[in-house]
Every structure is written in C-alpha cells, then in structure tokens.
C-alpha cells in the first residue's frame, strides 16, 4: 500500500519537476513522526478528529512544503494512513533512485579509504553496476583486506578473509597422497 501512495506522490513531484523537494519534505515529516512520540500519538489517536489533525499539519507546514504535497498529506489523513508515512518515504526514495539511475551500496573495507580511494571505489562500482553509485563506507578489520559490497539483495565479497577461507577449504578437500603413491 505504501508503494501505491509513494507512486502517486512521485508522479505529482515528477510532473512539477520537484522530486528532490518532495523527498526532503516527506523525509522531514516521516522523521518528525518517527522521532516524537507525542506527534505520533496525536496523529494516530482515533479520539482526535481528522479535521484537528489536518489543521495542525497545515499550521506546522504551511508555506514550507509545496501545496500539492500538503494536499497529499491531507488525503493520507482522510484515508487514515498516516502510520504509513515512514514506509511511503522509503518507497518514494527508492522510486527517485530508480528514476535517477542511482543505487545505494554498502562498502566494507579493512581500513577506511582516503578521498581519492573513495572516489575510485565509487567510480569503479558505477561502471560495474551501470548506475550512479551512492556509497556508504564502513570499516571492519575482520575482513583483513579487500572489499565487500552489498546492494539490494546481492553481495560481492572480494575480501581477503573469504579468499583465505576458500583456500583452506580447497586444501582440506584435496586428496592426500599416501606413502609410496
């Protein structure tokens, strides 16, 4: 259901060439709801009239978000789907990434790279994946060396640790020649 709402909002944003504006506004609203229990309780309470919720959002966001985005929020409230705003924000971000040909990857290295190495990693991964790569890089000394890349449900493991474990497995599986063979 969140994907449907995100798709509708993305189409509005795309028509107005305001995709980045809408993604920021949606992330801000969803983040505020996720981080503040009082706001979450206010918006999810069945005891509070929808009209009061709408008034509160209009007062808080008026002039800060595009009018069509505000209309979208009102529809979400009318349909009592405000609990989906975080999921809608995630789906919207995924649609924007797809539209822009971007892919988010998680890169794990034994040592944190300098700026030149980061640029090189991003450039090579972009060429390999055929998309613009947004890399999130972290350090994990357990991999010993090399690189591990995760994107979507795929893992490219070029770590030294994996290579050593693979070599160990091959050595243990190799037949051992006995005396006199």
CATH value at residue 145? 3.40.30
Question: Can you give the pLDDT at residue 166?
Answer: 87
Band of residue 92 on the pLDDT scale cut at 50, 70, 90: very high
Chain segment 104-159, per-residue pLDDT in tens = 999 999 999 999 999 999 999 999 999 999 999 999 999 888 899 999 899 989 88
Q: Is 88 exposed, middle or buried (0-12, 13-18, 19+ CB in 10 A)?
A: buried
Co-location of 84 and 135 in the same domain:
no
As a whole number, mean pLDDT of residues 36-48 equals 90
CA max distance for the chain = 91
C-alpha–C-alpha distance, residues 28 and 10, integer Å: 16
Co-location of 94 and 7 in the same domain:
yes
Band of residue 32 on the pLDDT scale cut at 50, 70, 90: confident
Count of the separate structural domains present in the chain: 2
Kindly tell me if the per-residue pLDDT of 180 is higher than 70.
no
Co-location of 106 and 94 in the same domain:
no
C-alpha–C-alpha distance, residues 144 and 160, integer Å: 6
pTM over 0.95: no
Co-location of 86 and 13 in the same domain:
yes
The domain in which residue 26 lies consists of: 2-98
- Give the CATH number for residue 8: 1.10.520.20
């Amino acid at each position: 259901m969140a994907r449907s709402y995100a798709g509708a909002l993305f189409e509005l944003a795309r028509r107005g060439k305001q995709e980045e504006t809408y993604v920021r506004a949606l992330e801000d609203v969803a983040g505020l709801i996720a981080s503040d229990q009082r706001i979450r309780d206010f918006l999810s309470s069945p005891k509070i009239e929808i009209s009061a919720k709408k008034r509160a959002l209009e007062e808080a966001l008026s002039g800060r978000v595009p009018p069509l985005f505000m209309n979208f929020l009102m529809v979400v409230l009318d349909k009592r789907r405000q609990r989906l705003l975080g999921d809608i924000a995630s789906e919207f971000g995924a649609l924007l990434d797809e539209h822009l040909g971007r892919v988010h990857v998680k890169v794990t290295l034994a040592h944190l790279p300098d700026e030149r190495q980061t640029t090189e990693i991003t450039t090579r991964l972009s060429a390999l994946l055929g998309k613009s790569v947004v890399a999130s890089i972290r350090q994990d000394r357990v991999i010993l060396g090399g690189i591990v890349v995760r994107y979507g449900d795929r893992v490219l493991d070029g770590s030294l640790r994996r290579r050593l474990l693979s070599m160990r497995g091959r050595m243990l599986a190799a037949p051992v020649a006995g005396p006199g063979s």
